[in-house]
Amino acid sequence: MQVRVLGCSGGIGAGLLTTAFLVDDDVLIDAGTGVGDLTYEDMKGIRHVFVTHSHLDHVASIPLLVDSLFDELTEPLVVHAQRVTIDALRRHIFNWEIWPDFTCLPDAERPVLRFEPIEAGEVCRIGARTFEAIEVAHTVPAVGYLCSNGASAFCFSGDTTTNDTLWPALNRAEHLDLLIVEVGFPDRQAELAHLSRHYSPQSLAADLNKLDRRPRIAVTHIKPGDEDRIMDELAAALPGYDIHRLQGDDAFTL
Q: What is the pLDDT of residue 58?
A: 98
What integer is the mean pLDDT of 242-250? 93
User: What pLDDT, in 10s, does the model give residues 35-49?
Assistant: 999 999 999 999 999
Dihedrals φ, ψ of 61, to 5°? -90, -10
Task: Supply the pLDDT for residue 41.
Answer: 97
Report the mean per-residue pLDDT for the chain: 97
- Cβ-in-10-Å burial (0-12, 13-18, 19+) of 190 comes to middle
pTM above 0.85, yes or no: yes
pLDDT above 90 coverage of the chain, percent: 99
111-120, 129-138, 199-208, 239-248: least confident range? 239-248
- Report the alpha-carbon distance of residue 150 to residue 167 in Å, rounded: 20
* Architecture of the domain delimited by 2-253: 4-Layer Sandwich (3.60)
Give residue 75's identity as a one-letter amino acid code: E
In contact, 166 and 134? CB cutoff 8 Å = yes
Please tell me the predicted confidence (pLDDT) of residue 57.
98
Residues present in the chain in total: 254
Treating both helix axes as pointing N-terminal to C-terminal, what angle do 227-237 and 201-208 enclose, rounded to 10 degrees?
Answer: 30
Name residue 131's beta-bridge partners. 124, 147
pLDDT in tens, 114-166: 999 999 999 999 999 999 999 999 999 999 999 999 999 999 999 999 999 99
Q: How confident is the model at residue 24 (pLDDT cuts 50, 70, 90)?
A: very high
Type of residue found at 237: A
Q: How many CA atoms lie within 13 A of 188 on its CB side?
A: 4
Q: Name the residue ranges covered by the structural domains of the chain.
A: 2-253
Q: What single DSSP character describes residue 71?
A: G
At 85, the amino acid letter reads T
Residue 106, preceding bond cis, omega within 30 degrees?
Answer: yes
Q: For the residues 88-116, what does the mean pLDDT come to? A: 97
> What is the rounded CA–CA span in Å between residue 181 and residue 116?
25
User: If DSSP codes are grouped into helix, strand and coil, which group holds residue 45?
Assistant: coil
pLDDT value, residue 75: 96
Q: Average of pLDDT values for 209-220?
A: 96
Quick one: pLDDT at residue 145? 99
Residues in CB range of 135: below 8 A, 6 or more apart: 120, 121, 142, 143, 163, 165, 166
For residue 20, the 8-state DSSP code is E
Contact present, 69 and 37 (Cβ < 8 Å): no
